[in-house]
Structure 1
Amino acid sequence: MKTIRIPPRPSLLADVQQELSAREPDPKKLAKIIANDVALAASLMKLTNSSFFGLRLKAGSVEHAVDLLGLDQCSMLLTGIIARQTMSNGGAAMARFWDFSTKRAQAMSFLARQMRACPTDIAHTFGLFCDIGVPLLMEKFPDYSKNLEKAAKDLDHKITDLEDQRYSTNHAAVGSLLARTWGLPNEVSVAILLQHDYSSLQDKSTEDRVRTLIALALLAEYAIHKYHGEDLFAEWEKGGDLACQFLGMSQHEVEDRFDELHDMFNGIS
């Protein structure tokens, strides 16, 4: 772990988090922080006016976008935008990584809202960051991508166990460390660490929100795989039943959620 480069928390993210954590956050001050970074402001405006949010009004300025979204939604989007700006080197592989992470975050936010399972901003943040350790290990180990692809198809072993054997660490541990370093909510960093340990879904000593995030992420990822025509998803084979049991979902309800998510993916593609 000591030899892996964990990017420091971007100063822009620190400024945003400081304002949002104030006793009475000021939307105008937050808008000013955002507007000082042209790329951040442009990305926020684009997302605010996208079909994903489906807002009746279109934002005409950063301040207007903050008012339309609210502080919680703004925090969710800004954290993701800044993360993508900070960790975008890597060409096509990183583009695919962020495309999948964004789709998972959108799916988790949708599921959290529809099922009233947890706050949508927390679900979205976890969806974006749960695999954030992957690009850090790709940067450190030249053979990591090839071995991760192989491990992802293994039906008998946890991905993190296979990574530990080869690299003496794993993407969940590295990602959890980055989440803590960047000041993300504690339940997000814990859920990142436990994301492939599906036995935690039955462990009542694990916080309910952590288990909810793990279960929703598995449901969202399986929906994405099915959307792309991939019916066999090893992680679902390992933890799907436990996730459904924890969420109190029948197979019929799972299929209904998949249909809803596929409609959403079609609408934002």
Structure 2
Amino acid sequence: FQDCGIAVLLKRFPNYKEVLGLANTAADLKFTDIETEHLGVDHALIGCLLARSWGLSESVYEAIRMHHEFAVLDPDSHELARESTNLIGAALLGERAYQLFAGKARGMEWQKAGSYVLDHFGIAAEDCDAVFADIHRAFAEQS
């Protein structure tokens, strides 16, 4: 749901698929910075505005707005409420688990966000890998 603004940008900008490809593979730039550079707007802002207009809570629409601003997950950052940063971190963990299970672990977001997420929740990298493996096994057993 955090990416609901992507649908709006796909409809509005004929070149958005190309911009999306650039944003997904950029190692050094923020996803939303690439969108803004090419389009003058980003999907996180559009998603935030949609969520707000639908009457979702402030913690949800702020999490949507900031879900590519990984530094907000730093324990010393007090830019967002803990509920919002927990939503951002949980979404990133879920997205990574899905990517690994589905064999779609491409893109650079986990490389940029992973250490922030693990630090935010106090998870060691090897423990996270073990949890992802357990999730993968659980889904594989259902198939």
Question: Is residue 143 of structure 2 the alignment partner of residue 265 of structure 1?
Answer: no
Deviation at 1:145, TM superposition (A): 1.6
Partners of 2:97 and 2:135 within 8 A in 1: yes
1:144 alignment partner, one of 4, 10, 16: 16
Matches within 5 A, 1:107-186: 129-186=1-58
Deviations 1:164-185 (A, max 9, x none): 1111110000000000011112
1:216 corresponds to which residue? 90
Partners of 1:222 and 1:233 within 8 A in 2: no
5+ long unaligned stretches in structure 1: 1-128
2:70 corresponds to which residue? 198
Matches of 1:169 and 1:265, distance apart in 2:
37
Deviation at 1:219, TM superposition (A): 1.4
Name the CA shift for 1:267/1:177 in 2 (closer, same or farther; >3 Å): farther
Deviations 1:93-115 (A, max 9, x none): xxxxxxxxxxxxxxxxxxxxxxx
Structure with max Cα Rg: 1
Name the CA shift for 1:136/1:263 in 2 (closer, same or farther; >3 Å): same
Matches within 5 A, 1:1-269: 129-202=1-74, 203-266=77-140
TM-score, structure 1 normalization: 0.49
SS at 1:173 equivalent = helix
TM-score, structure 2 normalization: 0.90
Name the CA shift for 1:137/1:231 in 2 (closer, same or farther; >3 Å): closer
Q: CA RMSD in A?
A: 1.7
Partners of 2:44 and 2:67 within 8 A in 1: yes
Higher relative contact order (CA 8 A, sep 6+): 2
**Equivalent pairs, count:** 141
SS at 1:244 equivalent = helix
- Equivalent AA in structure 1 for residue 108 of structure 2: A
Partners of 1:132 and 1:171 within 8 A in 2: yes
Name the CA shift for 1:146/1:267 in 2 (closer, same or farther; >3 Å): farther
5+ long unaligned stretches in structure 2: none
Deviations 1:179-208 (A, max 9, x none): 001111211100000000001112124211
Partners of 2:49 and 2:61 within 8 A in 1: yes
